[in-house]
Structure 1
Amino acid sequence: MTTKRRVLIAGESWSVHSIHQKGFDSFTTTEYNEGVRWLRDALVAGGWEVDFQPSHVAAREFPFDVESLSQYDSVILSDIGANTLLLHPDTFTKGKALPNRLDVIRDYVEQGGGFIMVGGYLTFQGIDAKARYKDTAIEQILPITMQAVDDRAEYPQGITPTVDDASHPIVAGLETSWPDLLGYNRFAARAEGQLVASVGNDPLIVAGTFGKGRTVAFASDCGPHWAPPPFVDWAGYAPLWQQMVSWSAGE
């Protein structure tokens, strides 16, 4: 890929539009939020140069070709639905034909790039199955099989991850006792995938290869709510993500 250790994160942003009703009168407020800081800080601390595209930026600016993606050693999609990458505003509003950016990610990985999908309400299949990654090029490159329905598993009481393969570089040197998570996306590991960690009877981390590249499916989130404060403040949080991105990048 490149001489720099560089990663692209797309997603991890949202806007909330609220209606305040006070008797006869009402007014609205809008709030913008990002959930990337824990992941970004962990990677920067590990020596990675991080480019972040919030969802509304990725809609227009996520790369359209392998050459542009190849400036990155790894690409991360986190809580961003397939439609954001499929329906560029010029396609949706002007009917302009543009490259399928999910196919571009597949071709980038096949030629040696790294890819990680992080769980959330709008990754894998997500809430009401609106993320819509099943039967796309993203499912093709990941070492998992997605469900066709809403795949969220909510555990407000907490569920403890377990390490299945302590020898895998993604979890090397991490303690076996991890803080609880509050939810994740359900999917099945493929036979050729490497099950690294689980939550209950479901996979949490599955690693695999596609062509010359490496891919990782992480079923839970990189920040609240599914990754609550004890998880993002855990001493193993930064090493986990640093090692996951490094492994995906072929290191």
Structure 2
Amino acid sequence: MAKILLAGESWISSTTEYKGYDSFTSTKLESGCEDLLKALRGLGHSVEHLFAHDVPEKFPWTLSELNQYDVVILSDIGANSFNLSDRVFAGGNPTTDRLQLLKEWVNNGGALMMAGGYLSFGGFEGKAHYHNTALEEILPVDVSPFDDRIETPAGAVPEEAIANGISENLGQFPKVLGYQVVTPKNDSDVLMTIDGHPFLITRKVGQGRTLAYTTDIAPHWASQDFMNWTHYGQFFSRCIHWLSGDLQ
């Protein structure tokens, strides 16, 4: 089974409550990946979750640190979190380009998955900003510099495009409530589509592998039907097995 680093998929919420003349503000840390962590761990994988606010300082800085993992998953975490560490943003000093580091790691045999979300691929108002980065070069898709979201409040159903070991024998996928539009690279494989757009795309890069999954792993884009789907964990576990080289 794989050792996985999942970076992102968390946020800090601030709420101001007004009660007549008075008000007070509270904050809390929230995570959107608890179901995925439980599912993958239940299937035997070892998963470390790096919260989004920790990414700028604690995401691996060296190849030796990355080599501790079989698979890295980026979920709802924008390029700025990798580029603007305190040393750069606050101190004005050069440091390791960790998107370039991920590119080198994948080319040397690492495995990377990007899951969709408001801060994935192009992202909400283009704020994820992976266009024209070293990471885009190794992803199986080209990324828009603009807002790349399609909201589907009535739901859209992903469909298998070619026979593959990831979606095989899982039946019809539940509806999802949104996704991102990406452009597959010439040497990638589009395994699944949604509304005619690429949905699950894979690529072999150098000695490594990358996978793009263009919707969220949790609500809101992942509908409650999707979260309760019998094959929820199995589907993502198969993505991990493909990235690890256990599936062709």
Aligned-residue CA RMSD in angstroms? Answer: 1.2
Equivalence map 1:178-197=2 (5 Å): 178-197=173-192
Once the two structures are superposed, what CA deviation does each residue of 1:140-183 show, in whole Å capped at 9, x if it has no partner?
001111112101111111111111123x12223321x1100000
The runs of 5 or more residues in structure 1 that have no matched partner are none
Would you say 1:172 and 2:171 are equivalent positions?
A: no
| One-letter amino acid of the structure 2 residue matched with residue 161 of structure 1 | P
2:35 and 2:200 map into 1 onto residues whose CA distance is: 18
Aligned AA (2:122): Q
Post-superposition CA distance 1:57-83 (Å, at most 9, x none): 222110011121011111000000111
Among 49, 61, 65, the residue aligned to 1:64? 61
- 1:43 counterpart SS class: helix
Tell me, in whole angstroms, the C-alpha distance in 1 between the residues paired with 2:123 and 2:75.
11
CA offset digits 1:13-50 (Å, max 9, x no partner): 00111222344433212122001112111211221111
> Per-residue CA shift, 1:70-98, capped at 9, x if unaligned?
11111000000111111112221122321
Which position in structure 1 is the counterpart of 2:214? 219
The number of aligned residues is 246
Q: Indicate yes or no: 2:128 matched with 1:131.
A: yes
Alpha-carbon separation, structure 1, partners of 2:229 and 2:183:
27
> Is 2:235 aligned against 1:240?
yes
Report matched runs for 1:88-237 at 5 Å: 88-166=85-163, 168-175=164-171, 177-237=172-232
Tell me the TM-score normalized by structure 2.
0.95
Structure 2 distance, partners of 1:42, 1:193, is 27
- How far has the Cα of 1:209 moved from its partner? 1.1
User: Of the candidates 3, 6, 12, which is equivalent to residue 3 of structure 2?
Assistant: 6
| Distance in 2, Cα, partners of 1:122 & 1:194 | 24
Which amino acid in structure 1 is aligned with residue 167 of structure 2?
Answer: V
Once residues 102 and 166 of structure 2 are traced to their aligned partners in structure 1, the CA distance between those partners, rounded to angstroms, is 22
SS of match in other structure, 1:51: strand
Rounded Cα–Cα distance in structure 2 between residues aligned with 1:242 and 1:5 = 9
Residue 44 in structure 1 maps to residue 62 in structure 2: no
Which residue, 18, 39, 48 being the options, matches 1:21?
Answer: 18
SS at match of 1:106: helix
The one-letter code matched in structure 2 to 1:20 is E
TM-score for both structures, normalised by structure 1: 0.94
